[in-house]
């Protein structure tokens, strides 16, 4: 039985509670150091399935106002895939007109998540 502990800082509020998460065979058995349930939930997710929204920009062609259009992953993607996402976006160009929510790149880095525009261009 493999036991491990991970130290984290909770991001939910300015308290920044130092969390200790204990896992056995990759399953969280306890979270300590938190002062509220949000800390517990954060600790569990962050050690088992940390995810992030990635925001960046891609160049846009044919826009009268913008050189770049800002984009984001429509949903969280696995934290380990952050650079895969930006690497796949390098070389991607958007075509004006662009509306907020337009898909700029579908299923980025095999995550099943689309990259969508966050600005008009």
Partner 1 sequence: MSAAIERRAIVVVGGGPAGLAAAIAAYEAGEHDVLILERDTQLGGILNQCIHNGFGLHTFKEELTGPEYAQRFIDRADELGIERRLGTMVLDISSERVVTTVSAANGIDRIQAGAVVLAMGCRERPRGALATPGYRPAGVYSAGTAQRLVNIEGQLPGREVVILGSGDIGLIMARRMTLEGAHVACVAEIMPYSGGLKRNIVQCLDDFGIPLLLSHTVVDVEGRDRVEAVTIAQVDERLKPIPGTEVRYPCDTLMLSVGLLPENELSREAGVELSPVTRGPVVDQSLQTSVAGIFACGNVLHVHDLVDFVSQEAAAAGTQAARYVMADAEEASASRGIPVAATDGVRYTVPSFIDPQRMDDTLTVRFRVANEFRDRYVSVYLDDERIQHRKKRVMAPGEMEQVVLKRADLLAREGLSQITVKLEEA
Partner 2 sequence: MYDVVIVGAGVSGCAIARELARYDASVCVIERAEDVCCGTSKANSAIVHAGFDAQPGSLMAKLNVEGNRLMYEWARELNFAVLPVGSLVVCVSEETRPGLDELLARGQANGVPDLRIVERDELLAMEPNIADEAVAALWAPTGGIVDPFGLTVALAENAAANGVDFRFNAAVTAVERTSAGWAVHAGDDVVEARAVVNAAGVYADELHGMFVALADGSPASEAVPTVAAEPLQIVPRKGEYYLLDTTAGAHVRHTVFMLPTAMGKGVLVSPTVHGNLIVGPTATDIEDKEAVNTTPAGLAEVASKCSLTVKDVPLREVITTFAGLRAHQEKHDFVIGEVAGTRGLFDCAAIESPGLTSAPAIGVMVSSMVATRLGLAHKPEGSFDPTRPGVVNLAITSFDDWDELCRQDSKFGNIICRCCRVSEAQIVDVIHRNPAATSLDAIKRRTGATMGRCQGGFCTPKIMEILERELGVDASEVTKRGPGSELVVGRNKDRLPQPAGALEGGDAR
Query: Residue 97 binds which entry of partner 1, partner 2, none, with Cβ cut-offs from 5 to 8 Å by kind?
Result: none
Identify each DSSP E strand in 33-100 by its residue range: 51-52, 55-61, 68-73, 77-78, 94-95
- Residue number, 54 or 105, with CB nearest to partner 1: 54
Q: Is 66 exposed, middle or buried (0-12, 13-18, 19+ CB in 10 A)?
A: middle
* 8 binds partner 2 per the rule CB under 8 A: yes
Query: Residue 3 binds which entry of partner 2, partner 1, none, with Cβ cut-offs from 5 to 8 Å by kind?
Result: none
Neighbours of 98 (CB within 10 A): 23
**Contact positions with partner 1 (CB under 8 A) in 72-91:** 72, 79, 82-83, 86
The sign of the dihedral angle between the CA atoms of 89, 50, 14, 37 is: positive
* 80 binds partner 2 per the rule CB under 8 A: yes
**Contact positions with partner 1 (CB under 8 A) in 89-108:** 100
**Contact positions with partner 1 (CB under 8 A) in 31-70:** 35, 52-57, 59, 65-68, 70
């Amino acid at each position: 039985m493999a036991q491990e502990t991970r130290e984290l800082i909770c991001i939910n509020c300015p308290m920044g509670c130092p969390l200790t998460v204990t896992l056995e065979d990759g399953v969280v058995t306890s979270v300590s150091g938190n002062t509220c349930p949000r800390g517990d939930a954060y600790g569990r997710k962050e050690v088992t399935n940390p995810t992030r929204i990635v925001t960046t920009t891609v160049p846009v062609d044919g826009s009268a106002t913008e050189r770049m259009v800002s984009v984001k992953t429509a949903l969280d993607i696995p934290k380990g895939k952050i650079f895969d996402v930006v690497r796949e976006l390098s070389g991607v160009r958007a075509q004006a007109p662009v509306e907020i929510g337009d898909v700029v790149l579908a299923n980025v880095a095999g995550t099943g998540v689309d990259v969508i525009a966050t600005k008009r261009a």
